[in-house]
Amino acid sequence: MAIIVLAEDDEAVRPFVKRALEADGHLVHAFENGEEALDFLCQTEKHIDLLLSDIKMPIMDGIELAGSVARILPKLPILLMTGYADQREGAKALQALIIDVIPKPFTLALIRAKVNETLIDNAKRL
Ligand SMILES: [Mg+2]
């Protein structure tokens, strides 16, 4: 079981991803923009295992969120997701800070596999 912070502004995608990860036994804290996710990450006393964030969101996007989180919580693995090829390119500047960028649309099986693979790899690193 891992504790995951999910940032996704799409009202359809957010519960879809949350339920998919909960089905694997993870605890998911879901937020609708980067600012809310960042506030939570700054305030929580829980150990968070993974940040999964959409890139294109209002108020604070996933790029800005990843940059801030990398400074505050440098060991927290970050996975980004986007439906836009140009944003996948833009995220290359963040390559050192993030694990991967997952292209949308994705299947339930793919997002679960990607998250679980990241959690296992990270556990091995520790
Ligand atoms: Mg979005």
Q: What is the mean pLDDT of residues 51-75?
A: 96
Q: What is the mean pLDDT of residues 36-55?
A: 97
How many angstroms does the Cα of residue 9 sit away from the middle of ligand 1? Answer: 5
How many angstroms does the Cα of residue 56 sit away from the middle of ligand 1? Answer: 4
Neighbours of 51 (CB within 10 A): 26
Q: Which long-range contacts (CB under 8 A, 24 or more apart) does 61-67 make?
A: 61/34, 62/7, 62/34, 63/87, 63/90, 63/91, 63/94, 64/34, 65/7, 65/34, 65/35, 65/37, 65/38, 66/94, 66/97, 66/98, 67/94, 67/97
Q: pLDDT per residue over 2-28, tens digit each?
A: 999 999 999 999 999 999 999 999 999
How many angstroms does the Cα of residue 42 sit away from the middle of ligand 1? Answer: 22
Q: pLDDT per residue over 76-96, tens digit each?
A: 999 999 998 888 877 777 888
